[in-house]
Structure 1
Amino acid sequence: MKKPKFSTSNIIFVIVIGLMIIPQTRQPIQVFLQKGLAMISPSEISVDKRETLKSYDNWNLVDSKGNAFDFKQAEGKVVFINFWATWCPPCIAEMPSIDELYADYKDDVIFLLVSNEKAETISGFQSKNEFNFEFYQSVTNAPAQFQTNSIPQTYLIDKQGSIVMDKSGAANWNSDKVRKVLDDLIAAE
């Protein structure tokens, strides 16, 4: 018997490749795949390897309402910083976990979700997805410790300015592990 040229697995493979080529379907598929990868909780940096911010000066941001935020206001507080973009599938994949974390910690942690996109693009993304946290744009360059070439890039900073978590790529920010770290950082003097 001659084997058919078009087996079921070949047809499925061609369909998947076709969907990845079409721009309208590529991003939802990539976000779906990234959500699977984002189930991993980020790791805490060991105390002896933590880098401390040299300064809180000279980083100014603006939120979607046009309100200015001087990073100096974050000094002495627990800070969650996430660099992201609306077109980035891993960023989109981790946003729901950040939103859930924000819902419980917004009074004790400063959340800075920073994008370099236009305000209209960010606002449209926020409205469409109904995220509750505020998004920011940098007015000046971020401190040297936050210079990155990849997104999403996330930092968790303690009250003394030490970088406790430094995660490149999507992660589950609403995990028990992250919540325990946050609880400890908030309780620390």
Structure 2
Amino acid sequence: MKKYFTLSNVLFIGLLFLILYKPSRVWFIRQISFSPTVEKVEGSARIFNYNWKLTGLNTYDANFSEFKGKVVFLNFWATWCPPCIAELPYIQEFYNDYKEKVEFVFITNDSAKELNDFFKKHGYEFPVYQSNQDFPKELPPVTSIPRTFVIDTQGNIRVDKSGSANWNSKGFRESIDKLIEAN
């Protein structure tokens, strides 16, 4: 009995370490990331006021109104967030193939130095901004990160996803292709 108790304690402590240790936590999250679903237009929220000033951290300053009439991938995230980190490789692959077809807008509160150090270490390239004002009121409140919205060319919020996801899945790409073609 004593041997079993010791073995179970060791296993419990090992499992606890794996969950608390950031790199292994990110790995676990990536393993359970699923493809997000693109919702139908009916019943979806719609953005009407695109006036939202953004400060570029690794890109130019912009106003969200520049993206009106385009498919927009809008992601709220941070460099310290394990679920955010877990989905970034999927996002980078998706960005590599769709950067000419979709507008990518990543919002963070991280500093430019934190962001640039993180991107240099991991090889990420997508555009990241800080918000200069409140975002469009039609967007649901962002109370946790990562939080991702996909907005179609008419301003309809077709994806509203909290948590990590596989943004490079075949199913998601097919859905995005349909949104692009609908333009």
When normalised by structure 1's length, the TM-score is 0.89
1:160 counterpart residue number: 154
- Of 71, 81, 93, the match for 2:86: 93
Deviations 1:28-74 (A, max 9, x none): 12211111121x101122321211102111x1112224621110100
RMSD, matched Cα: 1.7
Residue 59 of structure 2 contacts residue 127 of structure 2 at CA under 8 Å; is this kept in 1?
A: no
Are 2:178 and 1:184 equivalent residues in the alignment? yes
Instruction: Give, as a single letter, the amino acid of the residue that structure 2 aligns with 1:55.
Output: N
- Of 143, 146, 171, the match for 2:165: 171
1:67 counterpart residue number: 60
Deviations 1:60-101 (A, max 9, x none): 112224621110100001100000011111000000000000
Distance 1:146 1:129, change over 3 A: farther
Distance 1:18 1:31, change over 3 A: closer
Are 2:18 and 1:34 equivalent residues in the alignment? no
Distance 1:187 1:5, change over 3 A: closer
Instruction: Give, as a single letter, the amino acid of the residue that structure 2 aligns with 1:94.
Output: E
Distance 2:19 2:87 in 1: 21
Instruction: Give, as a single letter, the amino acid of the residue that structure 2 aligns with 1:10.
Output: N
- Of 117, 120, 134, the match for 2:113: 120
Moved more, 45-54 or 155-164: 45-54
- Of 125, 134, 158, the match for 1:132: 125
Residue 58 of structure 2 contacts residue 129 of structure 2 at CA under 8 Å; is this kept in 1?
A: no
Residue 36 of structure 2 contacts residue 161 of structure 2 at CA under 8 Å; is this kept in 1?
A: yes
Instruction: Give, as a single letter, the amino acid of the residue that structure 2 aligns with 1:16.
Output: L
How many pairs does the alignment contain? 182
Are 2:135 and 1:142 equivalent residues in the alignment? yes
2:9 counterpart residue number: 10
Instruction: Give, as a single letter, the amino acid of the residue that structure 2 aligns with 1:182.
Output: I
Instruction: Give, as a single letter, the amino acid of the residue that structure 1 aligns with 2:150.
Output: L
Q: Which runs of 5+ in 2 are unaligned?
A: none
Question: Share of identical aligned residues, percent?
Answer: 41
When normalised by structure 2's length, the TM-score is 0.92
Secondary structure of the residue aligned to 1:56 is coil
